[in-house]
Structure 1
Amino acid sequence: MKKTSKMILLLLLCVVIAVIPLLMIQNSEFGGADGAAEELITEINPEYEPWFESLIELPGGETESLLFALQAALGAGVIGAGFGYFVGRKKGA
């Protein structure tokens, strides 16, 4: 198996592993800073209306945690790849 096709297969597997829980777990609750801020705002000013609504309604509260973890993992991967590139370039020179 070629290295490129193996990488694409692994990336697709990662996407499937991330998407399946989003579709299968319903009505999960996980409190976070956004929910606490919303409660405090409505307590201070009950007439407050949000500027806009979410474009996509996620199936549960833990979905936000999953997306945040994926974002952190992607960022760590990009930073690690950048360091690896510069270290490899320095060793190659």
Structure 2
Amino acid sequence: MNKSKSWMNVLIVLSVAALIVFPLIFVQNSDFGGADGAAEEAIAEVAPEYKPWSEPFIEPPGSETESLLFALQAALGAGIIGYGIGYYKGRAVKQDHSNEDSA
């Protein structure tokens, strides 16, 4: 791989990381709600004496941060699944080509 391409890849990864981290740090007090908040409210109505089993290690500054992290998790999972499908498809195509060459 070319050295300038390596630096370009590093720069792209750092830029994406900055786009993820900066909103987490600087955007606070947002109003977006999610399923977790709705579930918490429903549980409080049904069983007001219920106490959660655990607490989060880090409390995000706003609910849009939770949405961002959920979307990031979904994108990462989709990327891994897509990579796996592409890898096995490429391996099957390569195996087919090697079988054709040996015949």
TM-score in terms of structure 1 length = 0.85
| Structure 1 partner of 2:9 | 7
**RMSD between superposed Cα atoms in Å:** 1.6
Count, aligned residues: 93
Q: Distance between the aligned counterparts of 1:40 and 1:5, measured in 2?
A: 50
Q: Quick one: which amino acid aligns to residue 18 of structure 1?
A: I
The percentage of aligned residue pairs carrying the same residue is 59
| Structure 1 partner of 2:36 | 34
Q: Which has the larger radius of gyration?
A: 2
Q: Distance between the aligned counterparts of 1:8 and 1:71, measured in 2?
A: 21
* Larger relative contact order (CA 8 Å, sep ≥ 6): 1
| Structure 2 partner of 1:63 | 65
Runs of 5+ consecutive residues of structure 1 not aligned to the other structure: none
| Greater mean alpha carbon deviation, residues 45-54 or residues 4-13 | 4-13
Q: Over residues 43-88 of structure 1, what are the superposed CA-to-partner deviations in whole Å (9 max), with x where a residue is unaligned?
A: 1222222222211010100001100111111111111111221122
* From 21, 24, 29, the counterpart of 1:22: 24
Runs of 5+ consecutive residues of structure 2 not aligned to the other structure: 96-103
